[in-house]
Amino acid sequence: MCGIAGIWFKERDDQLRSKLQAMTDSIAHRGPDGEGHWLSSEFNIGFGHRRLSIIDLSESAAQPMQFEDLVITYNGEIYNYVEIKKELESIGVVFSTQSDTEVLIAGYKTWGKAFLQKLDGMFAFAIYDKSTKELFCARDRFGEKPFYFINDNQRFAFASEMKALFAIGVERSVDSEMMFYYLAYDVVENPHDKQQTFYKNIKSLPAAHYLHIDQYGNQNITQYWDLDVSNQSLLSLDDATDRFRELLDISVTRRMRSDVKVGSSLSGGIDSSSILGTILTLFPESHFSTFTARFNDENYDEGKFIEILHRSFEFKSYNCFPHFDQIINELDKVFYHQEEPFGSTSIIAQWEVMKLAKQHDTIVLLDGQGADETLGGYFKYFLPYLYEMRKTSRSKMNNELMLIEENLGLSDIVSKGDRLRMKAPSLYDKIGKATRKFRGTGLGDNLNDEFSRNHIHAESPFLRKTTLNSFLHDEIFAYGLGKLLRFSDRNAMAHSREVRLPYLSHEMVEFVFSLPSEYKMGNGWNKYLLRKSMEQRIPKEICYRKDKKGFQAPKDWLSKGQVNELAEDSRQLLISEKYIDADSKLNNWQSIMAAKVLG
């Protein structure tokens, strides 16, 4: 786990070394254990690296690393590097380190871009071929590791964080369209353009894509992996449950590979509890530690569920208690690392968990992120699932509605309007069209008229899908999972911690997508497959827990005095910059985040 940077100039630049140094200095928090730089003999291309040592702690594994005529700078972990290394050794490749970095560069040398299909991991890397003078960059399938870049008339530059690009003089200029999307729709990514960021000229390489630049400077970005949404499997539920548990065990086992201390973040929900139960089932002798954000407000506190887990497993739990003052005290620091708006104060709670892990010398944390978006965890997923069911059997849909009411409480999940939309979609659309002229779009309530008119043709970010798999696909690749992975990466790396996500094994996700929708959201339960697979592994009170909290912070934090004052100052800035009008109803958090973007 590290920070990477690089620059490729069209002509020689004698300041190349100092520019690389400025880039890696700006992301030193991502790799406090070492730094390295490589410069070409022509002084037109160079790589930088900050190292957080996790696999092969020796100096021989330092980066940038050279392998024959290739040079690599790499951030992430290849969890199946042991298996790939054996395959490469069987065809004669000789290794000089125990690192996954050398496996990555040797694999690329052997198989080229096709090597990406073999990787189970999180990664962002750049490889320069000195013989062909070509650059190959890639980002992992789900976008766990970041890769930002610029490409103008003079240079191509990339880094793990945007601040490294700002360090070499890239202008911190706000992208007006992204600000429109955020202020109008409260979204922090553009689902129609995954390269777009809040800053002009700075792009993000989308998840599951690679970037290639040839010797003439021609750039090409290509998607190398996608999910099939067609539900092809004919397995029984019992067989699917057994196979899912087997794949989860493989994923957890690979993500436990480390030469440093491993723990986990724990919320008390089924996702993180299942990871803990799997770890302690597979590694019963491990002296394992967990890290949890707790609150004095019982509406948000997870303590009673942690105690339930303690009755079943032996592990050491550490707790932090985030408090209101940290919004004010930590906000600038958190935004500095996040670089773009983030969802809520829950990100500050997550920040405190990473700080807690650092205090207890635990470098690697396994975490439950990704389970919701791949297994159907959010209650909103019931709607596309029920739409899908309605197409084949209204009686089955009505029975499912009854089971949802019985298990989870229908009124909290499916509104009267949603039920009308499912049972009579044409009537729902007619009513919507008839009332829209009285309700308006809602956008004008927050925005300056001129600013709004400038973006009148911007496409709505909300995508309407009517099958569960297609909805989950968009959550993974268009909008949903990506922002959460960004929040997690920045919070962890700010404290030089590494987060590993067992639910984002691509083999496991491909398998889940092949299954019928009722395996994911069956019998009135969300995440039904996970619940079924964990029945004998974690306590029933958690396996069939009905509520969902995660790292939520109390909502009343956003209406307290100091936050109100900060929000009002932020609104005044947004008014002066002509983003919103004086009577705007923009909420406190959006106001604060948007002002932070403006600097």
Q: Which domain holds residue 376?
A: 228-556
Do residues 486 and 566 share a domain?
no
Do residues 474 and 539 share a domain?
yes
573 vs 577: CA distance, rounded Å: 6
Do residues 341 and 213 share a domain?
no
Beta strands in 473-562 (DSSP E): 498-500
Do residues 421 and 506 share a domain?
yes
In sequence order, the 6+-apart residues with CB closer than 8 A to the CB of 315 are 276, 280, 288, 289, 290, 309
Determine contact, residues 6/37, Cβ cutoff 8 Å: no
The structure's pTM equals 0.94
- pLDDT digit string (tens) for the chain, length 599 residues: 799 999 999 899 999 999 999 999 999 999 999 999 999 999 999 999 999 999 999 999 999 999 999 999 999 999 999 999 999 999 999 999 999 999 999 999 999 999 999 999 999 999 999 999 999 999 999 999 999 999 998 899 999 999 999 999 999 999 999 999 999 999 999 999 999 999 999 999 999 999 999 999 999 999 999 999 987 888 999 999 999 999 999 999 999 999 999 999 999 999 999 999 999 999 998 889 999 999 988 888 999 999 999 999 999 999 999 988 887 889 999 999 999 999 888 899 999 999 999 999 999 999 999 999 999 999 999 999 998 998 888 899 999 989 998 898 866 666 777 767 666 666 766 676 555 444 344 555 789 999 999 998 888 888 778 799 999 999 999 999 999 999 999 999 999 999 999 999 999 999 999 999 999 999 999 999 999 999 999 999 999 998 876 666 677 777 777 889 999 999 999 999 999 999 998 999 999 999 999 98
Do residues 173 and 122 share a domain?
yes
Determine contact, residues 350/368, Cβ cutoff 8 Å: no
Do residues 585 and 533 share a domain?
no
Edge-first strand listing for the sheet containing 262-265: 316-320, 289-293, 262-265, 364-366, 498-500
Query: Would strands 65-67 and 34-39 be described as parallel, antiparallel, or unpaired?
Result: unpaired
213 vs 21: CA distance, rounded Å: 23
In sequence order, the 6+-apart residues with CB closer than 8 A to the CB of 93 are 106, 110
Do residues 541 and 565 share a domain?
no
Q: Of 183, 175, 191, which Cα lies nearest the Cα of 480? A: 191
Can you give the pLDDT at residue 441?
47
Can you give the pLDDT at residue 498?
98
Do residues 277 and 172 share a domain?
no
Residue type (1 letter), 501: L
Determine contact, residues 158/149, Cβ cutoff 8 Å: yes
Determine contact, residues 31/145, Cβ cutoff 8 Å: no
Domains: count for the chain: 3
Question: What is the number of other CB atoms lying within 10 angstroms of the CB of residue 287?
Answer: 10
Residue type (1 letter), 198: F
Do residues 489 and 591 share a domain?
no
- 119: its two tokens: 């990787």
Task: Among 223, 250, 278, identify where a domain stops.
Answer: 223
Beta strands in 40-193 (DSSP E): 45-51, 65-67, 70-78, 121-129, 134-139, 148-151, 155-159
What kind and span of H or E run contains 84? helix 81-90
Q: What is the DSSP letter of 458?
A: P
65 vs 61: CA distance, rounded Å: 8
572 vs 579: CA distance, rounded Å: 10
Q: Of 205, 202, 116, which Cα lies nearest the Cα of 152? A: 202
Q: CA 81, 33, 105, 162 torsion: positive or negative?
A: positive
23 vs 3: CA distance, rounded Å: 10
Determine contact, residues 408/531, Cβ cutoff 8 Å: no
Do residues 186 and 270 share a domain?
no
In sequence order, the 6+-apart residues with CB closer than 8 A to the CB of 508 are 244, 247, 248, 251, 374
Do residues 252 and 147 share a domain?
no
Tokens 């000229």, residue located: 201
Angle 498-502-503 (CA atoms, 0-180°, nearest 5)?
125
Do residues 545 and 586 share a domain?
no
Q: How would you class 442 by CB atoms within 10 Å of its CB: exposed for 0-12, middle for 13-18, buried for 19 or more?
A: exposed
The domain that holds 526 is classified in CATH as 3.40.50.620
- 242: its two tokens: 């057994």
201 vs 175: CA distance, rounded Å: 9
Can you give the pLDDT at residue 153?
82
Task: Among 223, 247, 266, identify where a domain stops.
Answer: 223
Q: CA 51, 55, 59, 63 torsion: positive or negative?
A: negative
Task: Among 223, 248, 283, identify where a domain stops.
Answer: 223
Determine contact, residues 2/34, Cβ cutoff 8 Å: no
Question: What is the number of other CB atoms lying within 10 angstroms of the CB of residue 265?
Answer: 26
The domain that holds 88 is classified in CATH as 3.60.20.10
Question: What is the number of other CB atoms lying within 10 angstroms of the CB of residue 477?
Answer: 22
Burial per residue of 426-438, b for 16 or more beta-carbon CB atoms within 10 angstroms, e otherwise = eebeeeeeeeeee
171 vs 304: CA distance, rounded Å: 49
What kind and span of H or E run contains 422? helix 416-423
Burial per residue of 11-30, b for 16 or more beta-carbon CB atoms within 10 angstroms, e otherwise = eebeebeebbbbbbebbebb
Residue 110 φ then ψ, to 5°? -80, -45
